[in-house]
């Protein structure tokens, strides 16, 4: 069970980093209005990767005491 949780947190981290890369790439590559939509992926990816790192370090961070 713990291995599955670690894989989920790693998937959140990798997915967040992929969204950040896509956001920066897409905001420069696509034309309007799709560049704004792609650029919106970068902060979402940042939040997702931060939550993934927090849960990798402290797995019980969001659980009740």
**How do residues 31-52 score in pLDDT, each as one tens digit?**
998 999 899 999 999 999 999 9
Q: Is the per-residue pLDDT at 59 higher than 70? A: yes
Confidence of residue 17 (pLDDT cuts 50, 70, 90): very high
Global confidence as pTM: 0.86
% the chain with pLDDT above 90: 74
**Total structural domains within the chain:** 1
Q: Encoding tokens for residue 47?
A: 């939040």
Q: Considering the domain boundaries, does residue 62 fall inside one?
A: no
Q: Considering the domain boundaries, does residue 6 fall inside one?
A: yes
Confidence of residue 13 (pLDDT cuts 50, 70, 90): very high
Q: Tell me, what's the pLDDT at 1?
A: 63
Domain hosting residue 50, numbered range: 2-57
Q: Considering the domain boundaries, does residue 17 fall inside one?
A: yes
Q: Considering the domain boundaries, does residue 15 fall inside one?
A: yes
Whether the CB-CB separation of 48 and 20 falls below 8 Å is answered with no
Phi, psi of 63 (to 5 degrees): -95, 155
Whether the CB-CB separation of 49 and 23 falls below 8 Å is answered with no
Rounded CA separation 33/42 (Å): 16
């Amino acid at each position: 069970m713990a291995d599955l949780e670690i894989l989920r947190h790693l998937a959140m981290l990798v997915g967040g980093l992929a969204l950040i890369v896509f956001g920066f790439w897409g905001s420069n590559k696509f034309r309007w209005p799709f560049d704004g939509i792609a650029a919106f992926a970068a902060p979402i990816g940042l939040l997702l990767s931060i939550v993934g790192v927090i849960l990798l370090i402290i797995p019980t961070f969001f659980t009740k005491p």
